Structure 1
């Protein structure tokens, strides 16, 4: 590996680790460039040699906190018999972890990161390739999509190709299930509900299941 890449990887990890520590100890809203630089032992200006802005740094730090979710996703999907079963189980796994880590999932999947967010995912896995070692090949294309909508689309296309639903049904299912999840995540994130994590998950899956059943019965 060229020395330049090794140096970039080392510096990234210093700053990302410092950011993770602040998130875990003080919360996402307490992360600043100055705090990260101080923790990592560098000047604030050095961070901008490796990260465009603070949102990119918190994105990469949040990605390191998704490992439990990414490691369990394949186990969930494996339990499904049909593509639609697998789609629903993927949502169950995603919702379970997102409601327990709403700020992390908001940062990774919803927050505005500017242009080409998928490029940021590629950069992350270049620095942390070990995160994909135990991930089945069939799951990797999903994880390399930052857009939750595109993740769902890729799974539902399998159901379309298998003749379980048509393209219009797939589009409607994908749009409505995304809106249900986003609504619940926003509610949980803003403390606008008395639901605990299990109740939020139960309600979300109730409506996602209804959407899939109603669309497939048309």
Structure 2
């Protein structure tokens, strides 16, 4: 097999992978997560059901990659805040507030992404997706970039919690940061679960409730 033929096959694989992802994104918009099936996705992409397994481990991995479409507004907001030189406290609350507002709008998709199958390997999922869709990549400060590409939800949360250690009035210290982080993750997961179960719950009220939880846990408040 010549070099040109190999490159052609690689490009074909890339394009077919993109077709599967775009088909899944269309179905997520039209029918929602619960209505997805391998057959529907394959039909929309123009392939046989079994072809999916040539490009993805399973349908869960495909759905996870397709879900990154819904991170676009969050990603762009993070990019804008990255270079504003916020204090660690304001940076912490700003990231969480933006994330909550967007996550509560698509609770099932965000729950599946952060707490479903493959949620312990998000870095690789995200890198694979952005290699296919480089136009969706935004620029971040190092700290925010490390958080955004964290391997799982707990690591992402820890990265923005760590700068609060031993700040004046902070409840976060070296000896309790892991426990505090576990509580933060559990609180958010519980509110996101509530939103999945009752879509009529107010996104605004859920966000305010979670920010109040963060204030209680950290002892710190947003200053602007």
1:130 to 132, 135, 147: 135
2:150 aligned to which of 145, 148, 156:
145
CA offset at residue 30 of structure 1? 0.9
- Root-mean-square deviation (CA), in Å? 2.5
Q: Within 5 Å, which residues of 2 pair with 1:1-218?
A: 2-76=7-81, 81-113=86-118, 116-132=121-137, 134-138=138-142, 139-160=144-165, 165-191=172-198, 195-213=201-219
CA distance in structure 2 between the partners assigned to 1:152 and 1:136 by the alignment: 16
User: Unaligned 5+ residue runs, structure 2?
Assistant: none
Per-residue CA distance 1:86-119 (angstroms, 9 max, x = gap):
1122111111111111011112111122774432
Residue 79 of structure 1 contacts residue 86 of structure 1 at CA under 8 Å; is this kept in 2? no
TM-fit CA distance, 1:11? 0.8
Residue 84 of structure 1 and its aligned partner are, at CA, apart by 2.6
* 8 Å CA contact retained: 1:160, 1:166: yes
Mapped partners of 2:218, 2:112: distance in 1: 27
What displacement does 1:9 show?
2.1
Alignment coverage as a number of residue pairs: 212
Q: For the residues of structure 2 that align with 1:162 and 1:195, how far apart are their CA atoms?
A: 34
Structure 1 unaligned blocks of 5 or more: none
Normalised to the residue count of structure 2, the TM-score between the two structures is 0.84
